[in-house]
Amino acid sequence: MKVIFFSLFIFSTSFFCDCKTIGYINESSREDLLLQDEFKTSEIIFFGKYLGDKNFEIIELHRGEKLKNSHLISEKEQITTCDFFFEKNKKYIIFGLLDEQQKLVTSVCNANREI
């Protein structure tokens, strides 16, 4: 029994993301509150088309400076379930931060949406 519990604990911590918890306030939905929070806290917000190979065509920049790198999305050594997976040739509103190389860092915890 202890082995099963320990195994579940180890696997559950590796599969879940540590996203900010947002509750309900009056008639506001969680989605509305998440968008409000993202507009306050995101370093970069843009509307763009995902070209594949970690690149976006920025159609409209709402916050932040134009990104200087050709590879826009920050590359990580390991892919996790927290990563937001973009589909090629689809358009998204993107919320995120910039890493030291001025590349986008975003995840499923952000309010990214396909448009």
Mean pLDDT, the chain, integer? 78
Other C-beta atoms closer than 10 Å to the C-beta of 47 total: 15
Task: Give per-residue pLDDT as tens, 40-75.
Answer: 999 999 999 999 988 889 899 999 876 665 567 877
Cα separations in angstroms, 76 against 38, 47, 73, 100: 23, 23, 9, 13
Q: What is the CATH number of domain 2-114?
A: 2.40.50
Task: Give per-residue pLDDT as tens, 68-82.
Answer: 655 678 777 778 888
Task: Give per-residue pLDDT as tens, 85-112.
Answer: 999 999 999 999 888 888 888 888 898 9
Question: Which sequence spans correspond to the domains of the chain?
Answer: 2-114
Put simply, whether the predicted model's pTM sits higher than 0.75 gets the answer no
